[in-house]
Structure 1
Amino acid sequence: MRVILFTGKGGVGKTTTAAATAVRAAREGVKTLVMSTDAAHSLGDTLGVALGGPSAGLPVEVEPGLSALQVSPPLLLGESWRVVQDYLLSLLGTLGIDPVVAEELTRLPGAEEVAALLELRAQVESGPWDLVVVDCAPTAETLRLLALPEALAWHLDRLLPAQRGLIRTLRPAAAAAAGMPLPDVEVVEAVTGWQRQMRRVQRILTGDQTSVRLVLTPERVVIAESRRTWTSLSLYGFVVDAVVVNRLFPDAGAGAPAASGGAAPAASTGTEPDAWRASWNAAQRTGLVEVRESFAGLPVVLTPYLSAEPIGADALANLAEAQYGDDATDLLAPVAHRGMRVERTAEGFTLTLPLPLAHAKDLGLQRRDEELLVVVGEHRRVLTLPAALQRCVVDGASVRDGMLRVRFVPDEEVWPRG
């Protein structure tokens, strides 16, 4: 089983790229599922099949060897969330909250993200697929999605022991003293089930079977966001194994017609079409240089701007052919992970975490008991430290060559030097 997630800034063609990859894989004999976590739900339009309505939540065969799926949050979360919601409604009722307001307050935040993760886990663990291709939402939503399993499991780990203890030893005395109901066993069991599932999702997302591919266009704003995305994905432990550059115009003077869907030549300003295209060619060549410099070490796949919009399996297969030619990449090859590691040194230990393109000025570190909080820009990750590092203190940190290195030395109060 192999999982490939495609993400990128909105409008760069990630859905088309994900669908084209899925079609190519299926036509090479790989049993493939392509699913979308994007609320825009344009995957069905791209493939030319109906994925909504009665088929929502069920894989739909596009052609032999290829199926597509649109996630349905109500179907996946209905019963388990209703148990928790009923408890929250009773809790808010004791506080005098209007029932209509309470119903709105207890809608599950992030329901679509949770549903997408649960569906991905189900398809990976029990589906008949060799490859699952995921058309993710734009980058900001994707980062929230991929960070959710670890963050949610972290919070549930700390919530559940206390709740189990309350239910076992303090009911009904605690409820009477507090003046509000404690959660039933069914509520705790539902939350415990989510905790287990989030841990399983996290193992899938950060395992050797899963990678992320960044889709972009050779424009400065898009490249800048993609650079930040690579850093943030690495912070959360995800591997980017390729960059796909979309919508490259033909070289000036090649005689190719203007690309469908692109900006029209600026005839109203008197600019000749060849001059307009030459200007775009120059800008895109500059952009490609920046892409290759920014993502050095990663394969860069170039996608020409076709003369027609690729809709339907045959058109998507042609797009994949234009991207890869006869070079049939091994989509099922395992991923080379470089996650967090700890090494012994003469003074103590060094914790290393890949953070490509990160700068020290954007980085924040905070030690909190048994955890290390790492902040990069607007994103943060809580790392539970190995047992040896829990008995150490931080002695400094640096960011160099795309790696965060944090130095630890033994805490002599709990680990005297011999």
Structure 2
Amino acid sequence: MRIILYTGKGGVGKTSVAAATALKAASEGKKVLVMSTDPAHSLSDAFDEEVGPEPRQMAQGLWAQEMDQSSMIEEYWAEIQNYLTAVFEWQGTTDVAADELARLPGMDELFGLLAVRRHHREGGYDALILDAAPTGETLKLLSLPDQMSWYVEKILPVQRRVASIARPLARRTKALPPLPEDSVFAAGQRFYDALAEVEEVLIDRENASVRLVVNAEKMVVAEARRAYTYLNLYDYGVDAVVVNRLLPETVRDPYFEEWRRAQEHHMRTIRDSFEPIPILTARLFEREMYGLEALSELAGEIFDGADPLEVMFRGETHSIVKRDGGYEVVLSLPFVEKESLELSKRGAELLVSVGSYRRNILLPDSMARLAAAGASFEDGKLYVRLKDAS
């Protein structure tokens, strides 16, 4: 199954782009499901037709779904929720409030990702297009399996043994909170295993891709660059950047000239930051883009005859490895000469120029204090060393 996850800063038009991609693929003979994992569902608005918690056919070969967490709670969270509710009630929380508190923040998006696992296992579609939450929430979710792994592997077994010893005492006294039964620990393990399986599906770069949707605006581009850095760190493949709502060339009113110059400036930043990843563009239309006809027009603008399900880029534009007490940023730059290299670093930004090739790389925040300590070429790759200046 081909999986494409669209994310971007809120308001950039990622729902319309996701729906347009699915419609384009379906028009070319594929069986496609577009699914929203964002709690603020917008697919119904994009199609101008009601979309429910179960897949609903919107056009020939195209289904849409807006996730409802209630169907997923019973499968993945019921045992844990019952225990958490008991703990909150032991603390004096009312029944209704305890039940609500047991549904942790972010559960909607999380269960949306678990629905990816279900559809992947069932294999009922050729492609799954995900309209994900804005970048910040999506990055937290995609990094969750890595963050949970140490706890599940190291701490959970110890807690399970301690609970089994202390549980008889807790049952005899009300001074201790209820301790989880073995079934709760088992449910936690199943929950983690399901998340880890989703991660395996989404980091398969031959079949799964992330696409960043941006507008040519300063804050939007900055967030997209940051998102790309962290997606790389967690091994998720970005195969395209979609720049949405560009002013058309036909608009030449002086009122828009300053806006046009700003967009041109931000487009240069986008190219410097993301190439050789393909950069797809769509103009700002003269109307709102909802309904099948408008979405089809948007898809034609973005893909311009290309296959929307193609893996448009494989690999990374750069990678970061830890080495010799510091880090190396590795860029693939075949056929360059060392003499043409220019290198500078400002805070968390690394700027690399080789002849006409220019890259503006946003590093993780933890590397902002490091200084560039040299560079070298080896087998067509540029290695930029970063070390603590002190």
TM-score (norm 1): 0.73
Residue of structure 1 in register with 2:200 after alignment: 203
1:234–1:354: 8 Å Cα contact kept in structure 2?
no
Mark the runs of 5 or more structure 2 residues left unpaired by the alignment: 333-343, 350-362, 376-380
Map 1:77-92 onto structure 2 (within 5 A): 77-78=73-74, 80-92=76-88
Residue of structure 2 in register with 1:29 after alignment: 29
Map 1:318-357 onto structure 2 (within 5 A): 318-326=297-305, 328-329=306-307, 331-333=309-311, 336-338=314-316
Tell me, in whole angstroms, the C-alpha distance in 1 between the residues paired with 2:382 and 2:95: 52
1:245–1:300: 8 Å Cα contact kept in structure 2?
yes
Instruction: Compute the displacement of 1:119 (Å).
Output: 0.7
Change (3 A) 1:100 1:37: closer
Residue of structure 2 in register with 1:376 after alignment: 364
Bigger Cα displacement from structure 2, 21-30 vs 301-310: 301-310
Instruction: Compute the displacement of 1:233 (Å).
Output: 1.6
Residue of structure 1 in register with 2:4 after alignment: 4
Tell me, in whole angstroms, the C-alpha distance in 2 between the residues paired with 1:11 and 1:402: 37
Q: Secondary structure at the match of 1:278?
A: helix
Tell me, in whole angstroms, the C-alpha distance in 2 between the residues paired with 1:152 and 1:203: 15
1:212–1:239: 8 Å Cα contact kept in structure 2?
yes
1:211–1:335: 8 Å Cα contact kept in structure 2?
no
Partner AA of 1:274 in structure 2: D
2:25–2:307: 8 Å Cα contact kept in structure 1?
no
1:185 aligns with 2:182: yes
Map 1:393-408 onto structure 2 (within 5 A): none
Work out which of the residue numbers 234, 238, 249 in structure 1 matches 2:232.
234
Map 1:152-163 onto structure 2 (within 5 A): 152-163=148-159
Partner AA of 1:196 in structure 2: D
> Percent identity between the aligned chains?
37
Tell me, in whole angstroms, the C-alpha distance in 2 between the residues paired with 1:238 and 1:59: 26
Tell me, in whole angstroms, the C-alpha distance in 1 between the residues paired with 2:92 and 2:256: 65
Mark the runs of 5 or more structure 1 residues left unpaired by the alignment: 257-272, 364-374, 380-395, 408-418
Residue of structure 2 in register with 1:280 after alignment: 259
Tell me, in whole angstroms, the C-alpha distance in 2 between the residues paired with 1:246 and 1:73: 30
Tell me, in whole angstroms, the C-alpha distance in 1 between the residues paired with 2:314 and 2:327: 19
Tell me, in whole angstroms, the C-alpha distance in 1 between the residues paired with 2:384 and 2:157: 33
Equivalenced residues, count: 353
Partner AA of 1:323 in structure 2: I
Instruction: Compute the displacement of 1:243 (Å).
Output: 0.9
Change (3 A) 1:288 1:24: same
Q: Secondary structure at the match of 1:213?
A: strand
Map 1:1-400 onto structure 2 (within 5 A): 1-51=1-51, 55-56=52-53, 58-78=54-74, 80-99=76-95, 101-166=97-162, 171-173=167-169, 176=172, 179-208=176-205, 209-251=207-249, 254=250, 274-326=253-305, 328-329=306-307, 331-333=309-311, 336-338=314-316, 361-362=347-348, 376-377=364-365
Please list the CA deviations of residues 149-196 of structure 1 after superposition, one character each: whole Å capped at 9, or x if unmatched. 332344333343124324555542465588343212321221121011
Q: Secondary structure at the match of 1:323?
A: helix
Partner AA of 1:214 in structure 2: L
Partner AA of 2:118 in structure 1: A
Partner AA of 2:127 in structure 1: L
2:321–2:329: 8 Å Cα contact kept in structure 1?
no
Instruction: Compute the displacement of 1:102 (Å).
Output: 3.5
Change (3 A) 1:340 1:185: farther
Q: Secondary structure at the match of 1:244?
A: strand
1:350–1:406: 8 Å Cα contact kept in structure 2?
yes
Instruction: Compute the displacement of 1:220 (Å).
Output: 2.0
1:153–1:198: 8 Å Cα contact kept in structure 2?
no
Please list the CA deviations of residues 358-402 of structure 1 after superposition, one character each: whole Å capped at 9, or x if unmatched. 968449xxxxxxxxxxx92389xxxxxxxxxxxxxxxx9979799
Tell me, in whole angstroms, the C-alpha distance in 2 between the residues paired with 1:96 and 1:305: 54
Q: Secondary structure at the match of 1:172?
A: helix
Partner AA of 1:311 in structure 2: Y
Change (3 A) 1:89 1:325: closer
